[in-house]
Structure 1
């Protein structure tokens, strides 16, 4: 079993999901890695999934059909966090990126718009080509 402290945890924001649906090479490599390599974990929050599907219809079905991506539900704790923010997609992704017992160091947010995360205390993986 992989040590959770050495694992790589990445959360796709809504822009990264839409980029994956458009064939973004960096997003595709990330998805492949999460499926093929031990210790790589890729997540999509339910709220960001909805927003990505609104921006690019069909993205939701595409993302959930991919192996290696875990969809994070909007549980009570996440819902309370979302209630304090203007956008649900950002709030749910931000909440999911925080440290948890499964992700002791938190997670990196993969995004096609890295500037959108500058005001938030998260590590960012830039997927812009």
Structure 2
């Protein structure tokens, strides 16, 4: 299971959201569970809740995704960097042929987007 955390999910994890905490635990403890934190979303989460980026980057079950050239090109076309980088990270790759699910506490924001969503709303 491949899951991309958007900035709302990252912020929620730092505020005690039980569903976000369970995802983090699974990625740490269970084989086959992978969590990704796109850097642009990590920046926005840290702006909303200072300390979030440092905390999440320290967790062994989370892979921080760099802003490589394909991500830059995807982000450059969009209005919000966090959403664009999250959407780009959820697209199929050689490592993730089925793509990834975006975990969010704002599922309506992803309506009409070509991504699968995991609602972490309380």
TM-score (norm 2): 0.98
Q: CA deviation at 1:114?
A: 0.5
- Three-state SS of the structure 1 residue aligned to 2:40 is helix
Match of 1:20 in 2: 13
Match of 1:9 among 2, 26, 47: 2
Query: Which structure 2 residues correspond to residues 108-123 of structure 1 after superposition, within 5 A?
Result: 108-123=101-116
In structure 1, distance between residues paired with 2:22 and 2:89: 22
Unaligned runs of 5+ in 1: 1-7
In the alignment, does 2:35 pair up with 1:42?
yes
Match of 2:22 in 1: 29
- Three-state SS of the structure 2 residue aligned to 1:110 is strand
Q: CA deviation at 1:65?
A: 1.1
In structure 2, distance between residues paired with 1:59 and 1:85: 24
Match of 2:52 among 59, 62, 66: 59
Unaligned runs of 5+ in 2: none
Q: CA deviation at 1:27?
A: 0.3
Q: CA deviation at 1:62?
A: 1.0
In the alignment, does 2:78 pair up with 1:85?
yes
State the number of aligned residues: 122
In structure 1, distance between residues paired with 2:60 and 2:73: 29
* Structure 1 outlier segments of 4+, above 2 Å: none
CA RMSD of aligned residues (A): 0.5
